[in-house]
Structure 1
Amino acid sequence: MRNSQARWRRLCIGVALTGTLSVPAFAGAAYGTVATGPFGPPGTAATASPESPTSTAPPPSPSGDEFAQLSPAVDAQLDDAIRQVMQEANVPGVMVAVSAPGKGQYLRSFGVADKATGQQMSPNLYMRIGSETKTFTVTAMLELVDQGKLGLDDPIGKYVSGVPNGDRITLRELAGMRSGLFNYSADPDFDKAFISNPDHPFTPQELLDYSFKHPVNFQPNAQFEYSNTNLILLGLVVEKVGGMPLQDFIAKNVTRPVGLRHTIFPTDAAFPDPHAHGYTNQTPTGQIEDSTDWNPSWGWAAGAMISDLQDMRTWAKVVATGTLLTADTQAQRLKTGPSGIPGTGYGLGIFNVQGWIGHNGSLPGYESLTIYLPEHQATLVVLLNTDVLHDGVEPSTLFGQAITQIVSPQHVFNLPTSTEPHASASASTSASSSTSASSPGS
């Protein structure tokens, strides 16, 4: 199967191959832009074509550890960098939002949302967000910690029976990707089941069964390894302790309280309109297909959710600053351990890459990146409609690197590549090695 299980379920942390794509190395350059589209001033354009002419020499670099002033000149530089990534990585469409207090904002969409009709990408479209779902599931679990209904150091066996090492693996180790449990999405039988019928509605127990037939990869807390299995278990914990289905708990306690009106945890393949079509080569032949309506149930608590650009802009700050949690619980969330990736640490369902805090996501046809830079209160969101790798690198990572080279040259989102094959990780690389990171995503 074309080593497909080494590529399939990419619901993990994104690892970028630095320098693989000839992204302009605007190190130290300050670029900015004005807002466009439905979130910008009346009369501004929402969509930019990758072919449209670009301009201008870069303005002076920010001095020291500054964030670029977003201005029309920076607008042009960001446009150029995004178009270049699109062209070289063959990305059909992408939407990008960058903002920081006192620095302005940049809101753009490029390319097409539907290759068959030529419909343009626009900032108001729903998108699948893959492993960014993990940030919602872990937030729900941490809310239950704040309510005193569970403890981070409780063993998973207290809530779910039949887990290998269930008497020793804690909820903290599950959320921090240090459980040692085999990643179900790397199992060959799961791969065959999904690739033969991507419309199949998987249950959480089916997903766990694919994992639990394998021995553990290491003992609890011995090392870092991204595993979607961890989040399926945490989703079951939220359901049991919260007393309602996971999608209902997240809606009631996570998305609604912070005003996320377009963020949905689907229970089937339903996709609200308007939405972008997604394109993947994770197919039996390796040819690119439209995966828009594939059932995301295989990702469940690890990667099934849907959102839009405006909601993810809000969520970037909420999850990074702990709006829904106590200060102590948020501090525990942000305490990162080594991930095996230089400059990158992984906390509880969240990463820190060169100071940018958040997560990425990838599942067939879609990728996302939602990150926040606390010292500048800066937000970056990237949503795109393909998960096809470019020289082994997630396109979301390439966009993140190109954009942050411009706006925050002292904090470049530069996840280096792993030497391991690209395996069941989303937003990044595979977690096939105990020290390699997998992409957050679905």
Structure 2
Amino acid sequence: MIIKKLITAFVLLPFLIQTMEAQTKGYEKKIDSIIQTEFGNKEEPGGVFLISQNGKSLYRKAFGKANLELNVNMTPDHVFQIGSMTKQFTAVAILMLEQQGKLNVNDPISKYIKDYPNGDKITIHHLLTHTSGIKDFTKIKSLPSIAQKEMKPEEMVNFFKNEPVDFAPGEKFDYNNSGYVVLGYIIELVSGTSYEDFIKKNIFDKAGMTHSYYASDRKVIPQRAYGYHKKEHGFVNKTVISFSVPFSSGSLMSTTDDMLKWQQALNQNLLLDLNETQKAFQKYKLNNGEEFTYGYGWHLKDINGIPDREHGGSVFGFKSMGIYIPGEDLYVIGLSNCDCHSPTEITQNIAKAALQAIKTSAKKP
């Protein structure tokens, strides 16, 4: 009987392997087709996409060119500017300092920046949740006058702090880069070190993110993907800005593999205890009691009714989008090296396809 079962198993094994390989290829083909709607031209700037579940990579592929001048093909190892996905790191850095007892998210910002207008009514929580009412510096007309200057964090805060506020703190949610610049300045004041060094030592190094950086156009960064704009006559190199301007609201660089390590570090409470971590991923309310869909550094939305945590980024020459679905431990991220190719909708569609594949697989006996 045992021998008969073994023979049956050996006969079925090649069939089962072929079936699994066919399913994997079919899944991969579907994901390829979703991405190629936006990233199908091999001669243009491209992107990298990664899907993982339970920390394991299910799909990891590069499209297009990392450098047009040198005709370098994109690889999954290329480094991109991630724009506003930087806000996740800034928010977690603030929570790390709270965990160390060095600040409280309910502190007024006047505790740290004495002369900040209305600073006794604006809290760190307001900055984290985009409910401060501070004027977003990206909407200030004189921004081009400083865009290429090397700005100290204090100078950057001074650039917008005396602008009229848009609303009273806590009255509404309005996505705001200035608030996250103030947070970066507070991180420096409280920690006694630069934002760049704090993030590297306390997050990148702890999470094993060896290919993540505070952005620079002067440092030699191995495997850097170059950024592009698309004009009527073709592609041009990205507009040069000083990274001290977006600072802690949008100046980090990373890879899809490192961003997966970041997600894993959060899941495993490697950086924060469970209580502090949960603060980042809960919805908060405005003064009138209305709930809004942003935690600390993440949008809290859903895909087909399934809760997710997501954030995108856009900075000259680059776009990014990351989606995490806690219920399935599913992480999907897309990074692009042309602001003409947005990975946002593509990443959302990939997440939907992955969820459907998980659902279909669960139904099978």
Shift of 1:408: 2.1
Secondary structure, counterpart of 1:209 in structure 2: helix
Which is worse superposed, 150-159 or 305-314? Answer: 305-314
Shift of 1:327: 1.5
Shift of 1:287: 7.7
Answer whether contact 1:344 1:353 (CA < 8 A) is retained: no
How large is the Cα RMSD of the aligned pairs?
A: 2.9
Answer whether contact 1:269 1:295 (CA < 8 A) is retained: no
Q: Deviations over 1:10-48 (max 9, x none)?
A: xxxxxxxxxxxxxxxxxxxxxxxxxxxxxxxxxxxxxxx
Secondary structure, counterpart of 1:296 in structure 2: coil
Secondary structure, counterpart of 2:259 in structure 1: helix
Change (3 A) 1:348 1:102: closer
Give the alignment partner of residue 203 of structure 1, picking from 130, 152, 175: 152
Structure 1 counterpart of 2:36: 83
Higher relative CO (Cα under 8 Å, sequence separation at least 6) belongs to: 1
How many residues are treated as equivalent by the alignment?
329
Give the alignment partner of residue 407 of structure 1, picking from 339, 342, 354: 354
Structure 1 CA distance for aligned equivalents of residues 209 and 323 of structure 2: 17
Structure 2 CA distance for aligned equivalents of residues 137 and 268 of structure 1: 21
Secondary structure, counterpart of 1:233 in structure 2: helix
Shift of 1:300: 0.7
Shift of 1:176: 0.8
| One-letter amino acid matched to 1:364 | F
Structure 1 counterpart of 2:322: 370
Structure 2 counterpart of 1:110: 63
Structure 2 CA distance for aligned equivalents of residues 163 and 71 of structure 1: 56
Secondary structure, counterpart of 1:251 in structure 2: helix
Structure 2 gaps, min length 5: 1-18, 359-365
TM-score by length of 1: 0.68
Shift of 1:159: 0.4
Structure 2 counterpart of 1:351: 299
**Correspondences of 1:157-306 after superposition (within 5 Å):** 157-194=110-147, 198=148, 200-266=149-215, 269-280=218-229, 288-291=235-238, 294-306=241-253
Shift of 1:203: 2.6
Structure 1 CA distance for aligned equivalents of residues 129 and 54 of structure 2: 31
Of Structure 1 and Structure 2, which has the larger fraction of its residues in helix? 2
Aligned-residue identity in percent: 28
Structure 1 CA distance for aligned equivalents of residues 156 and 354 of structure 2: 40
Q: Deviations over 1:326-345 (max 9, x none)?
A: 21112222112479xxx981
Give the alignment partner of residue 333 of structure 1, picking from 273, 280, 302: 280
Structure 2 counterpart of 1:142: 95
Answer whether contact 1:270 1:293 (CA < 8 A) is retained: no
Change (3 A) 1:338 1:362: farther
Structure 1 gaps, min length 5: 1-58, 60-68, 390-394, 412-442
Change (3 A) 1:79 1:172: same
Structure 2 CA distance for aligned equivalents of residues 234 and 253 of structure 1: 16
Which is worse superposed, 109-118 or 207-216? Answer: 207-216
Q: Deviations over 1:223-278 (max 9, x none)?
A: 10111111111111111111211111111111111111111124664350221110
Of Structure 1 and Structure 2, which has the larger fraction of its residues in strand? 2
Structure 1 CA distance for aligned equivalents of residues 298 and 324 of structure 2: 11
